[in-house]
Amino acid sequence: MSEHPVEPQYDFGGAKFDLNSPEDREIIRFILSQALYGEATGVYCGKSLYAAGSLEAARFYVRQAKQELAHLQLFADIFRALELKPLPAHWVIKLLSSHNNYYPLKVLMEHAIGEGMVLDIFRDILLATLPDEDPRVPLIKKKLRVVCKEEIEHVEWGEKETRRLLAEKRWLATPYYGLLELQMAVLPLLVRAFEKRTGQHPVLAHLPGFLEHVRTRVYNQGKDLGFVPEKRPGAVKRAVAMTTGLALFLRSQFARSKSTLEKTYIDELGLGDHPRPGGRGGSSDSHSESGSGSPDAVASA
């Protein structure tokens, strides 16, 4: 059963954008431009195929790359339908969507948290605030629902791998927590451009509430995954965690992809003397319970 519903989780109280208002169109253009950039970089998950530590991971990244390519096209269709031109991405989006070769950070930061927040924006903002009365919107929402369903799969992969890695390497909990605090610290910078207008606009009036909703959801996600303490630690402990997280992140920037399948494929396929616990032979659509392969083989930091 999915823990991630397809229906919006934040209540905008019926506030809608007006797709004929130039001001609203600028806001929608900003949001869609970040989405388009995120989807373009999402295609680079194909890079993870080279370093996939198991057949299961290889299957996931092939599937994800195809899905992200399709999302890119779907967002291009939405730009055309609304007669909008994309803007360059915001620096926060560029930072949050940069590829990480170090697998333990990739699954947490890109899939579990990053794509989780992507889902918050697509599902909670766009699906809730685009006006159904506009004849262009029903088709746009149909496309967005397809994207959301697939983003949920990506988040679930990230969560599954994060749990497995944390069980294997408990020490990851502190840098993971620090990185989550850092990500939450840069989040408000993304919406700073709109803060002055939050008082006047029916949708933007919800911005502070929505940000709080995202923060709470992400902290709860981290608690559920087992690396965010139940009670938020004091400033000193948080600073230590953030430093540890930053150090691991900087180290990860020098990680190089390392291939492993050419060494493990016989066991992965269940044809060797040491079948891997998560190896599933030739099946291409079943799901392993325990995950497989060595995450450290995916990248060396």
Binding site for Fe ion (CB under 5 A): 39, 42, 68, 71, 115, 151, 154
Phi, psi dihedral angles at 234 (to 5 degrees): -70, 175
Separation between Cα atoms, residue 24 and residue 134, nearest integer Å: 14
Report the residue number, 115 or 156, with the smaller CB distance to Fe ion: 115
Report the residue number, 43 or 269, with the smaller CB distance to Fe ion: 43
**Are 63 and 111 contacting, i.e. CB atoms less than 8 angstroms apart?**
no
List the one residue out of 77, 72, 83 whose CA is nearest residue 35.
Answer: 72
Output the smallest distance, CB 33 to Fe ion, in A: 15
Report the residue number, 24 or 68, with the smaller CB distance to Fe ion: 68
Output the smallest distance, CB 106 to Fe ion, in A: 13
Token pair in block for residue 239: 């600073």
Output the smallest distance, CB 122 to Fe ion, in A: 8
Output the smallest distance, CB 121 to Fe ion, in A: 11
What is the identity of the amino acid at 145? R
Q: Which residues contact 1 (CB under 8 A, 6 or more apart)?
A: none
Q: CA dihedral in degrees (149, 150, 153, 155; nearest 10)?
A: -100
Report the residue number, 101 or 244, with the smaller CB distance to Fe ion: 101
DSSP 170-222: GGGHHHHHHHHHHHHHHHHHHTHHHHTTTTT-TTGGGHHHHHHHHHHHHHHHH
Report the residue number, 68 or 181, with the smaller CB distance to Fe ion: 68
Report the residue number, 42 or 293, with the smaller CB distance to Fe ion: 42
Output the smallest distance, CB 111 to Fe ion, in A: 8
Separation between Cα atoms, residue 106 and residue 256, nearest integer Å: 13
Output the smallest distance, CB 275 to Fe ion, in A: 31
Element (H, E) at 125: none
